[in-house]
Amino acid sequence: MAISPRSLHTVAAAALLGLGLSVSTPSQALPISECIAPADPGGGWDFTCRSVGKLLYDLDLVDNPVKVVNMPGGVGAVAFSNVAGKRADDSDLIVATSTVGITQIAQGRYPGGVDTMRWLGMLGTDVGVVLVDDDSPYQSLDGLLEAMVDDPSSVVMAGSSGVGGWDHIRALMLAEAAGLPDDQIGSVRWVQFDGGGPAVTQMMGGHVDAVSTDLGEIAGFIKSGDVRVLAVLADKPLAPPFEDLPTAVSQGYDVTGYNWRGFYTGGEVSDADYRSMVDTLKTLYDSPEWKQVAERNGLVPLWRGGDEFNAFVRDTADKVESISREIGVIQ
Amino acid sequence: MTVDVPSPASHASALGDRLAGAVLLLLAIAAWWHARTFVTGFHQAVGPDVFPRLVCVPLGLLALYLLVRPGINERWPGRAALLRQAGLLVLLGGYAAFLEPWGFLPATLVGSVLLMRLFDAAWRQALVSGASLTVILYLLFEFALGIPLPDIPGLGL
Amino acid sequence: MEILGFLLHGFAVALEPQNLLLALIGCAVGTLIGALPGLGPVNGVALLIPLAFNFGLSPTAALILLVSVYYGTMYGGRISSIVLNIPGDEPAMMTTLDGYPMALKGRGGEALGLSAVASFVGATVATIGLTLFAPLLVGFAIRFGPAEYFALFMLAFATIGGVTSGSFTKSLLAACLGLLLGTVGLDPASGVSRYTFGWYELYDGIDFIAALVGLFAISECLLFLEDRHQTTGASRELGSAIPGMRRAGACKATIARGSLIGFIAGVLPGAGASLGSFLSYTLEKRWLGRQGDFGNGDPRGVAAPEAGNNAAAGGALIPMLSLGIPGSGTTAILLALLLSMNITPGPLLFDQQPDMVWGLVAALFIGNVMLLVLNVPLVGLFARVLRAPSWLLMPVVILVAFVGVYSLNNSPFDLYVMLAFGVLGYGLRKLHMPAVPVVLGLLLGGEMEFNLRRALAISGGDWSILVGSGISVGIYAFAATLMVAGLVYAWWIRRTPEAG
């Protein structure tokens, strides 16, 4: 549409409104100035970038507002290849990621392995949960898993990831812990929906039997009593209001399944810059404001940073790779 | 333009339809054939190859029908018009290619001036309007909408 | 009635002077953003969310501002659809079919006015439906499983012959092409990449907006270059919006049917506003039969999809608010908006935060009224824009489209996609093949495929699940009836040539 003189007034008004919101900064070796969200606006990675970027500025950890760039594609592969190829030594850039991204790497779906990037830290985590409808015949995790072991195709499970995605793998880890033989693990029926909410709704409509997904997204259904939680995949019981939900560990299945949110940066960033970025994120994590933002969005604040985080990422990738091999997602 | 009742004089022979039918038929066959590479290790009731193949069947059949019984086409343009159209595509392709290496401001300035020339503006008009358009777009996206545009390398603009 | 009390309270809040001013600003800014080809509600709202917070607005005020921007961008999309034949977003596509021919006849202002009134009525019907039937409709919506959704998409493609007056074969062919193009990208269910040939940029599939803008805007420019002495597509005179608003009275039956169909499509979370506007148009065309002149600037061809689209947007609030499921792209934005304000939609929202829910409903309503009022001066403004010489207008449209599409993903690749679709769109026009089914295939193909695969994953590969429920059998029967009726109608038209 052409810009006529009259509409310029509107533009000017909009520009006035937008001042202080979007000043692009020169790319010098300042602390974090840009965050890539490898997804469209509105998703989890976008939220991670926007909330952390805003807090970094609000807490005066950076001099200028952090610019958020959405770079969707290939569940993060586009951003990954972009950073590896063009911006590997860019020490003012952070990229949002999560367990979902690591799963993709472990299954060889990114152009490069874990070592391509430097892993900065995780700031919080969502917890996996297995649930059924409130009038489902399955009263406990034992009941569900027994039925699965008896006849793997008798239970239809659903979640927000595809076959071999994190929701699916977490569910299969449980089935495996219950004694489902490796050669039958592929017969468990798995249905993918566009998110945890749609999966739960379809379960309420009687179209699928059980759902494996993240707690944060479907917390409303738990509070309203429309669903029955069979297990949360955490080490220990959660904080209120979810303290009464049974963990899988307490029921004798040694399975945990977190979905953390964190950041990486290019692989050629110097040690000194890397350390200062990790410190910046740690300071942010320690602030009460972050705890508030995290909890409001269904995340449990949890910190792993620097070398510890690097080792953790590597370990997660190894675990996912081995189970993906067992179920045949990768050869 | 898109009005669906062209005068009979604007109808060319149905060569275009036959050509399109042939191309789409080949596309359907190629797509069917390429779907054999969509394999998963994990058993799925309907794998990733089924739906594309299901679509290829009507696509191929309808394309074949078009090939045999073509319908109405519009007249295709003459050489001068084709040159102008090719010019537009080359210009826009070039703009896309230079947007990131040059940065938004210079690429858009050059692009808009040439584009206006292509649409028969005088040089003076094109330069003035192109420059204003570039600046307005920059201010609109970069500041009013807060959408970052590619910077000029080394300048941060 | 308790609900009514909350709703009245919501309106009382929304009608405070500060909130009315915010609604006015939001609608005006939104209209401007939406009228820029390639920029739509996603950009408008996503970018203004932080702004609402910087201003320290109260939650209700922020909601009113953002909802107004959202409505503004939707309406802005109609303006470029009608005036320039370039849909601003997916649901606006159907509006080009009769809106642009109306503009060609110098009745663009009338089309804009009519579209505003139809939108308003559609949204109002949806608001009333939402107020009265929300709990009931949730129960209906969850009965739709994957097999039922698949049937719904089959219905959409069975009616595709009704999209344009072109040949049925060509419409179907275009739809198949769109469906095939829609499979490009990473298959989310298995992680296998399809038809990407190693390009990571294609892993998320072909970007709808890039394809849409290419098919409509770039092809328009290519066509224009063919004969440089013709005028730009649209007539230079738009006329006034007032007669359009009056004409809405004559279209009231159309608007009512469109609203109803749109509302039902909206309530089903897998269907969304695009399907709502699409079905409203094609079913209305079938309904009117030879009384209509769809595709050649029939005002009812503008009224039906506009009412349907807005009723669908309103209906989609039901699953969004009560189940937390964004049924369409547009409600996904509203969901992000609510989440950013610390409101988690879900089964408890209606009970726990009724003031918020009904405040939102009131905000939507105010946004619609504001657009209706703004319409008159806006038509004048856009009429002035159209008087710009074509050497200025065309390049400006192209460049804004370029920058808009580039900014979606920050990827030059999308620009090449847009150019490729521009060439495709040009070819389609020359072949008298409609472009709308291509976009529909691209848009709906993904959901159609996944619902098919979900259904068969549930049944373990037994295809009979597709006709396993009364709902899906009913939808198939309806689709078959329409298909047969369409063929009979086409045959009848051929027999009586005077019915052009």
Residues C254-299 pLDDT 10s: 999 999 988 888 887 666 667 788 888 888 887 877 777 888 888 8
My answer on whether A270 and A299 are in the same domain is: yes
| Smallest CA–CA distance from B145 into chain A, residue | A18
pTM for the model: 0.78
Q: Looking at the structure, do residues A274 and A237 belong to the same domain, yes or no?
A: no
- Cβ distance of A78 and C450 shorter than 8 Å: no
One domain for residues B70 and B98 = no
Are residue A110 and residue A143 in the same domain, yes or no?
no
Report chain C residues whose CB lies below 8 A from the CB of B95. Answer: 402, 415
**Same-domain status, A175 and A277:** no
Which chain B residues have a beta carbon less than 8 Å from that of C430? 16, 73-74, 76
CA C163 centroid distance within chain: 15
Residue B157: inside a domain, yes or no? no
3-state percent helix, strand, coil for chain B, nearest multiple of 5? 70, 5, 30
Is the domain of B134 the same as that of B108? Answer: yes
How far A237 CA sits from the closest chain B CA (Å)?
Answer: 34
Domain at A57, CATH number: 3.40.190.150
Among B74, B95, B117, the domain-final residue is B74
* pLDDT, position A138: 94
Distances (CA, A) of A235 to A251, A258, C183, C204: 12, 10, 40, 35
Domain membership flag for residue A210: yes
Confidence category of residue B134, pLDDT binned at 50, 70, 90: very high
B92 and B137 in a single domain? The answer is yes
Can you tell me the distance from the alpha carbon of C48 to that of C327, in angstroms, rounded to the nearest whole number?
A: 22
Same domain, A121 and A75: yes
Q: Which chain B residue is nearest to residue A16, measuring alpha carbons?
A: B144
Q: Return the pLDDT at B1.
A: 38
Within a domain: A5:
no
Within chain A, which residues score under 70 in pLDDT?
A: 1-30, 41-43, 331
Q: Cβ separation of C395 and B115 shorter than 8 Å?
A: yes
Residue A164 contacts C, CB cutoff 8 Å: yes
Which residue among A238, A258, A278 closes a domain?
Answer: A258
CA nearest to C334, candidates C307, C371, C361, C296? C361
CB-based contact (8 Å) between C407 and chain B? yes
B94 three-state secondary structure: helix
Q: What integer pLDDT is reported at residue C165 of this predicted model?
A: 55
Q: Which residues contact B96 (CB under 8 A, 6 or more apart)?
A: C402, C406, C412, C415, C416, C419
* Shortest distance, CA C46 to any CA of chain A (angstroms): 7
User: Does a structural domain hold residue C8?
Assistant: yes
* Structural domain includes residue B156: no
Taking phi over 0 as left and psi of -120 to 50 as alpha, with beta for the rest, C342 belongs to: left
- Confirm whether A39 is domain-assigned: yes
Distances (CA, A) of C57 to A297, C60, C355, C365, C448: 21, 8, 17, 20, 41
Q: Residue C229's pLDDT is what?
A: 52
Look at residue C45 in the predicted model and tell me its pLDDT: 67
Exposed e or buried b for every residue in B142-152, given b needs 16+ CB within 10 A?
bbbbbbbbbbe
Residue C374 lies in a domain: yes
Query: Residue A217 maps to which CATH number?
Result: 3.40.190.10
CA distance C486 to chain B (A): 18
How far apart CA B41 and CA C110 sit, in angstroms, is 58
Asked if B53 and B92 sit in the same domain, the reply is no
Range 399-418 of C in CB contact (< 8 A) with A: 400, 409-411
Is residue A54 within 8 angstroms of chain C, CB to CB? yes
- Using the structure block, give the residue that is written with the tokens 């503008």: C302
Is B16 inside a domain boundary?
yes
Same domain, B64 and B103: no
Q: Are A284 and A212 in the same domain?
A: no
Residue C296: closest C-alpha in chain B:
B3
Which residues numbered 17-46 in B keep a CB inside 8 Å of some CB on C?
17, 20, 24, 27-28, 31, 34-35, 38-40, 42, 44-46
Do residues B17 and B64 both lie within one domain? yes
Give the integer Cα–Cα distance in Å for B3 and C295: 8
Q: Is residue C405 domain-resident?
A: yes
pLDDT in the model for residue C56: 67
> Domain total for chain B?
2
pLDDT of residue A94: 94
- pLDDT score for A28: 40
> Within this chain, do residues A317 and A202 fall inside the same structural domain, yes or no?
no
| Owning domain of residue B106 | 79-144
Residue A14 lies in a domain: no
Could you tell me if C378 and C34 are in contact, meaning their C-beta atoms sit under 8 angstroms apart? no
CA distance C150 to A224: 30
Q: What is the DSSP letter of C297?
A: -
Chains in contact with A, where contact means 3 or more Cβ–Cβ distances below 8 Å, are B, C
Q: What is the rounded CA–CA span in Å between residue C202 and residue B116?
A: 32
Q: What is the DSSP letter of C325?
A: -
**Whether residue A221 is found in the same domain as residue A269:** no
Give chain B's largest Cα–Cα span. 66
Q: CB distance B48–C187 less than 8 Å? A: yes
Residue B2 lies in a domain: no
Measured between CA atoms, the residue of chain B closest to residue C222 is: B85
Task: Chain C: give the shortest CA distance to residue B117, in Å.
Answer: 8
Residue in C222, C334, C205, C220 with CA at minimum distance from that of residue C272: C334
Q: How many domains does chain C have?
A: 1
Domain containing A214: what range? 127-258
The answer to whether the CB atoms of C390 and B119 lie below 8 A apart is yes
Pair (B68, B33) in one structural domain: yes
Write out residues 223-242 of A within 8 Å (CB-CB) of C.
223-224, 226
User: Do C204 and A54 lie within an 8 Å CB cutoff?
Assistant: no
pLDDT of residue C385: 73
Within 8 A of C216 by CB-CB distance, chain B residues are none
B109 in a structural domain: yes
Low-confidence ranges of chain C (pLDDT < 50): 232-235, 498-500
Is some CB atom of chain A closer than 8 A to the CB atom of C4?
no
User: According to the model, what pLDDT value does residue C166 have?
Assistant: 62
Q: Are residues A151 and A193 located together in one domain of the fold?
A: yes
- Put simply, the answer to whether B89 touches C399 (Cβ < 8 Å) is no
Clarify whether residues A62 and A156 are in a common domain: no
Q: How far is C170 from chain A, CA to nearest CA, in Å? A: 32
Give the residue numbers spanning the domain of C136. Answer: 2-495
Looking at the fold, whether A203 and A252 belong to one and the same domain comes out as yes
Q: Which chain B residues have a beta carbon less than 8 Å from that of C396?
A: 133
Q: Does residue A288 lie within any of the structural domains?
A: yes
**Which run of H or E residues covers position A264?**
strand A258-266
Residue at a domain's end among B74, B100, B123: B74
Count how many pairs of residues, chain A against chain B, have C-beta atoms within 8 Å. Answer: 54
Contacts of A75 in chain C (CB under 8 A): 186, 203
pLDDT of residue C70: 80
- Does residue B155 fall inside a structural domain? no
Q: Enter the ipTM.
A: 0.89
Q: Which pLDDT belongs to residue B13?
A: 62
C500 falls within a domain: no
Query: With an 8 Å Cβ cutoff, is B15 touching chain C?
Result: no
Q: How many domains does chain A fold into?
A: 2
Residue B136 has pLDDT above 80, yes or no: yes
In a shared domain, residues B102 and B133: yes
Min mean pLDDT across A239-248, B27-36, B54-63, C358-367 is at C358-367
Let me know: does A127 contact A237? Beta carbons within 8 Å: no
CA distance B136 to chain C (A): 10
The pLDDT of residue B114 is above 90: yes
Which of C85, C173, C190 comes nearest B66 by C-beta?
Answer: C173
B35, B59, B74 - which closes a domain: B74
Do C433 and B72 lie within an 8 Å CB cutoff? Answer: no
**A185 and A116, same structural domain?**
no
pLDDT in tens, A163-216: 888 899 899 889 989 988 877 887 888 898 877 888 898 899 899 999 999 988
B140 and A CB contact within 8 Å: yes
Question: C-alpha distances in angstroms, A191 versus A95, A250, B98, C166?
Answer: 30, 27, 44, 39
